[in-house]
A and B are shown apart, each in its own frame.
Chain A
Amino acid sequence: MSTATHTRILTDEMIAEIKAFFPRYPSRQAVTLPALHVVNEKLRCVPLQAVVEIGELLELPPAVVQDTLSFYGYFKQDAPHGETRAWVCRSISCALRGADEILDHMCKVARMHPGECSPNGKLTIEFAECLGACEMAPCMLTGEVLHKDLTKESAERFVKDLIGK
């Protein structure tokens, strides 16, 4: 990790997007999550340097932004997650219909542990807690797409399509 470089990470576009949130809240700190989302959507992670720059925009010490970020495991810091971030639900309604086995199977097919990114950068597999789609269990969320009624076969096809096997 090269924290020594000081090339700016936040683009003008990101800064404008973050500033657009300012009028919505009486405090700058409240823009922390929106700002983290703006950066995360573009970079698929929020590097330390971005935290410093968000702090400047929000008039907060970087440690305060980092404190918030580190609470939400959602934001990766060290490396971007894959182009597709697959969240496989493991909570009760999905587990009753085989979710744990599906997650295991996907990881085996991809030869990855949950949380890791495939070598071609295309896929990160993670477990998720209840996705609020329990009537479609077992299910998985990839970005905005909800995959319902997963089977080992459909999950395997999904993984292989992305990692190119």
Chain B
Amino acid sequence: MPQFEPVLLANVGKPESHTLKVYESTGGYTGLKKVLKQMAPVQAIEMVKSSNLRGRGGAGFPTGLKWSFLPKDHPGPIYMCINADESEPGTFNNRILMEDDPHQVIEGIIVGCYATKATTAYLYIRVEYPRSYKRLQMAIDECYAKGYLGKNILGADFSLDIFLHRGAAAYICGEETGLIESLEGKRAWPRIKPPFPAVEGVFRKPTVVNNIETMACVTQIARRGVDWFKSIGVPSDPNNPRDPGSYGPKLYCLSGHINQPGCYEAPLGITCRQLIEEYGGGVWKGRKGKAAIPGGISMGLLTEAEFDTPLDFAGPGKVGCLGLGTAAVVVMDETTSMIDFLHNSCRFFSHESCGQCTPCREGTHWSLSMLERIKAGKGRLRDLDLLLEIGDTIGIIPGTTICGLSDGAAWPIKNAIRKFRGEFEEYIKRTNPTGHLETKAVPALPILAGAH
């Protein structure tokens, strides 16, 4: 099968691809010029709305619709926050865009700010990305020199500044209101919504938060048009008038037990198996697959039998996963212990919970404690039901917490235990032959501390 001709990654890997010179020589900033010359801001929003572009940061919310929630005729300022906190385990496509094609991202930001009438954009970038930070700052400097940023951009009645803002190694800063709080100089405690950021965001002003890859898509929509974008991917379900479909190209990240890990561009809707076989060269060491994370660890697990699931916005949900998430696929081979997988996931979320909501703070902590105990050969069958009880009750879906981190913590628990229960039971019985039926409370084991 012929591989898809990359668009978002077209420049990646070319010499000097991060420079304005190379970017302009491949059509860079023509989309921006078209928008500024031919469209009023409302028409630019309309363009993105009619493309059905959905956010690439994890939630898949339609971008044009989000922009249209901004109050009309607001005296300003309106802010744009670009989310480059990219910390979802398995995910690295934003890094590749920022390092190798920063101008493609910046062009989209400028178009987005023109459409939303934002006059300042803050690009919140995780501190773990020093190279992206440098490349973006270089690109921003080039843009000021060339008149793509600053006052009266390309002679239009539109001015914009972009500032980079570095995070400090906390996953929760990627949640949009955690990001806003962190940007304001506070602890990154997500806010209770409503009000949504479009009404009251950073510095209590209307704010749009969008992902890096989303902005790269905006660039390509401005350059190539809505029809081009909608010619790729999976159309809306004709029986569901509210389904926005899954249009456009997508950057899939592939890692774990795979022959060729990497970031691959494909139309939305390829299956997990196609990604593994046709792009990743198959499971490593000639082994068989056992499971895969479909879109960052928060999304849960596909079993090998579910590898034919299409990785579009609707696919993973149909087999019990949380969603497409960041489309970061992490492959696990047949030798992988699901106990180890779940331990790793629980450890991550316990470390990253911001601690505001009791169900999330305690639930992530106790699920890790139970997994530590199971791994140490002191597990009880009852622990599996306790874990499922936590999994079923923490999150914004059951309605017990402020943000979606806890849904992300819950899904791996629910999927791992429900899809691989036999393996968990067998492990517990084998490693704790005398105590696995114990139902009385048993003490927790200490957990490794001691880093940032």
Which of A2-10, A33-41, A150-158 interfaces with chain B? A33-41
Chain B count of residues within 8 A CB distance of the other chain = 61
Within the complex, the shortest CB–CB distance from B219 to chain A, in Å, comes to: 21
Residues in A whose Cβ lies below 8 Å from that of B94? 132
Name the residue among B88, B183, B450 with the largest chain A CB count within 10 angstroms.
Answer: B450
Contact pattern, A 61-74, Cβ under 8 Å of B = 1, otherwise 0: 00000011011111
In the complex, the answer to whether A71 meets B452 with C-beta atoms within 8 Å is no
Contact pattern, A 102-116, Cβ under 8 Å of B = 1, otherwise 0: 000000000001111
Residues in B whose Cβ lies below 8 Å from that of A70? 187
In the complex, the answer to whether A115 meets B451 with C-beta atoms within 8 Å is yes
In the complex, the answer to whether A27 meets B253 with C-beta atoms within 8 Å is no
Complex: chain B residue closest to A134, CB-CB:
B255
Instruction: Say whether, besides A75-B168, A141-B128, A29 and B253 are in contact (CB < 8 Å).
Output: no
Instruction: Say whether, besides A126-B452, A130-B88, A134-B90, A31 and B185 are in contact (CB < 8 Å).
Output: yes
Complex: chain B residue closest to A65, CB-CB:
B185
Residues in B whose Cβ lies below 8 Å from that of A58? 185
Instruction: Say whether, besides A33-B165, A74-B127, A135 and B186 are in contact (CB < 8 Å).
Output: no
A70 CA to B184 CA in the complex, in Å?
15
Within the complex, the shortest CB–CB distance from A10 to chain B, in Å, comes to: 17
CB of B171 within 8 Å of the partner chain: yes
Interface residues of A in 4-51 (CB under 8 A from B): 24-27, 29-34, 36-37
CB of B297 within 8 Å of the partner chain: yes
Instruction: Say whether, besides A91-B348, A130-B90, A144 and B185 are in contact (CB < 8 Å).
Output: no
A134 CA to B257 CA in the complex, in Å?
11
Contact pattern, B 329-341, Cβ under 8 Å of A = 1, otherwise 0: 0101000100011
CB of A143 within 8 Å of the partner chain: yes
Question: How many contacts A-B (CB < 8 Å)?
Answer: 158
In the complex, the answer to whether B91 meets A130 with C-beta atoms within 8 Å is yes
Name the residue among B163, B293, B451 with the largest chain A CB count within 10 angstroms.
Answer: B451
Instruction: Say whether, besides A73-B452, A74-B169, A93-B255, A132 and B86 are in contact (CB < 8 Å).
Output: yes
Complex: chain B residue closest to A40, CB-CB:
B168
In the complex, the answer to whether B261 meets A134 with C-beta atoms within 8 Å is yes
A137 CA to B90 CA in the complex, in Å?
10
Within the complex, the shortest CB–CB distance from A155 to chain B, in Å, comes to: 16
Within the complex, the shortest CB–CB distance from B18 to chain A, in Å, comes to: 16
Instruction: Say whether, besides A31-B185, A74-B169, A132-B95, A93 and B90 are in contact (CB < 8 Å).
Output: yes
Residues in B whose Cβ lies below 8 Å from that of A146? 131
In the complex, the answer to whether A30 meets B87 with C-beta atoms within 8 Å is no
Residues in A whose Cβ lies below 8 Å from that of B166? 33-34, 37
A26 CA to B345 CA in the complex, in Å?
39
Instruction: Say whether, besides A73-B452, A74-B169, A137-B261, A96 and B187 are in contact (CB < 8 Å).
Output: no
A89 CA to B351 CA in the complex, in Å?
13
CB of B220 within 8 Å of the partner chain: no
In the complex, the answer to whether B187 meets A74 with C-beta atoms within 8 Å is no
In the complex, the answer to whether A96 meets B256 with C-beta atoms within 8 Å is yes
In the complex, the answer to whether B91 meets A134 with C-beta atoms within 8 Å is yes
Complex: chain A residue closest to B254, CB-CB:
A135
Chain A count of residues within 8 A CB distance of the other chain = 49
Instruction: Say whether, besides A129-B348, A132-B91, A33 and B255 are in contact (CB < 8 Å).
Output: no
A92 CA to B351 CA in the complex, in Å?
14
In the complex, the answer to whether B128 meets A114 with C-beta atoms within 8 Å is no
In the complex, the answer to whether A26 meets B203 with C-beta atoms within 8 Å is yes
Interface residues of B in 328-361 (CB under 8 A from A): 328, 330, 332, 336, 340-341, 344-345, 347-348, 351-352, 354
In the complex, the answer to whether B452 meets A33 with C-beta atoms within 8 Å is no
In the complex, the answer to whether A33 meets B185 with C-beta atoms within 8 Å is yes
Within the complex, the shortest CB–CB distance from A8 to chain B, in Å, comes to: 22
CB of B69 within 8 Å of the partner chain: no
A115 CA to B168 CA in the complex, in Å?
16
CB of A128 within 8 Å of the partner chain: yes
Instruction: Say whether, besides A24-B163, A93-B255, A129-B352, A134 and B330 are in contact (CB < 8 Å).
Output: yes
CB of B126 within 8 Å of the partner chain: yes
A92 CA to B416 CA in the complex, in Å?
14
CB of B424 within 8 Å of the partner chain: no
In the complex, the answer to whether B328 meets A27 with C-beta atoms within 8 Å is no
A24 CA to B255 CA in the complex, in Å?
38
Within the complex, the shortest CB–CB distance from A63 to chain B, in Å, comes to: 13
CB of A133 within 8 Å of the partner chain: yes
Residue pairs across A and B with Cβ atoms less than 8 A apart, 15 shown, are: A26-B77, A30-B185, A37-B166, A71-B354, A73-B169, A75-B168, A93-B256, A126-B450, A128-B451, A129-B89, A129-B352, A130-B90, A134-B90, A134-B253, A141-B128
| 8 tightest Cβ-Cβ pairs between the two chains A and B | A32-B185, A115-B450, A71-B187, A72-B168, A134-B255, A126-B451, A29-B185, A93-B255
Give the interface of A toward B (CB within 8 A): 24-27, 29-34, 36-37, 58, 67-68, 70-75, 87, 90-93, 95-97, 113-116, 126-137, 141, 143-144, 146
Known A67-B186, A93-B90, A129-B171; further 12 A-B contacts with Cβ < 8 A? A24-B161, A72-B169, A73-B169, A73-B170, A92-B256, A92-B297, A92-B330, A114-B450, A115-B451, A116-B450, A134-B253, A134-B330
